[in-house]
Amino acid sequence: MSRRSARRLTGAVAAVTAVLALFSSATAAGAADATDRTSGIATTTASTRSADAATGTLSTSTPVVFVHGYTGSASNWVTAMSVFRLNGWSSSNLFAYEYNSYGNNITNAQGLATFVNSVKSRTGASKVALVNHSMGGLVSQYYLKVLGGNTSVSHLASIAGANHGTTYASACLVYTTCQQMYPGSSFIAQITSGDETPGSTKYATWYSPCDGVIIPYTSTRLDGATNNPVACQTHIGFLTDTSVLGDIADFVAS
């Protein structure tokens, strides 16, 4: 191997390593502050919602399926699940779907379909709610739109979802999932053509100019959804933002 080829290979490995380090930091972020932050803000949020719950305007019986982002895992949702429990959900109705971040998002969406069906069978519910983060937005949208999953989903909440792609994916294009996540990909075209919010599902998004990973940050917005701008929150910070997570619990309960 020539020195020039070696330098190119080293540069490519460094780029992939950098993006993996940033995305995978979500695993630690999801678990960090689960006690400190949730016990404070989320408790207050839950108490302010008690009046609505008492009047029957909120429902916490809908099973919730959380869908992580690129290189993420179920551990990303520690804080979110705590917030949902504080807002009336039973642990038996909270589920986290895991998939292969380095595989193919079509396969990942098919896996989500199977997972949702198992949750419906286990709980007896006719529909579930989906809460996704980052690349989980692509997995969710493919399931809802292409695979017809909207008939099994009551609510879709997308947190910093890569719903129209992100140029940040250029750092990991060696993987099919990142190729699909890049703006202008055939995968993006398939899930964004026509109606972006099909069926009777309620759709909402949360996004921020301080995201830093979803570029442009407005990529998260979906036509036909309730799109909620957040003044300043980082991509990973969303996972432990108990204020946003509380709003999402409200949305899913509506």
DSSP E strand boundaries for the chain: 64-67, 94-97, 128-133, 153-159, 202-207, 226-229
Name the CA dihedral angle for 79, 145, 196, 171, rounded to a multiple of 10 degrees.
60
Q: CA 39 to CA 22: how far, in whole Å?
A: 27
pLDDT at 116: 98
Residues constituting the chain: 254
How is the beta sheet containing 153-159 ordered, strand by strand? 94-97, 64-67, 128-133, 153-159, 202-207, 226-229
pLDDT at 13: 42
- Dihedral class, residue 134 (left if φ above 0, else alpha if ψ from -120 to 50, else beta): left
CATH of 3-253, one of 3.40.50.1820, 3.40.50.720, 3.40.50.20, 2.60.120.200: 3.40.50.1820
pLDDT at 44: 36
CA distances from 244 to 3, 83, 131, 207, 218 (A): 50, 10, 12, 10, 17
pLDDT at 59: 81
pLDDT at 112: 99
Nearest partner of 72 among 102, 38, 42, judged by Cα: 102
CA distances from 84 to 87, 162, 225 (A): 5, 23, 22
pLDDT at 233: 98
pLDDT tens over the chain, length 254 residues = 544 444 444 444 444 444 444 454 444 444 443 333 333 333 334 444 444 433 334 589 999 999 999 999 999 999 999 999 999 999 999 999 999 999 999 999 999 999 999 999 999 999 999 999 999 999 999 999 999 999 999 999 999 999 999 999 999 999 999 999 999 999 999 999 999 999 999 999 999 999 999 999 999 999 999 999 999 999 999 999 999 999 999 999 99
Q: CA 232 to CA 139: how far, in whole Å?
A: 25
pTM of the predicted protein model: 0.82
pLDDT at 1: 52
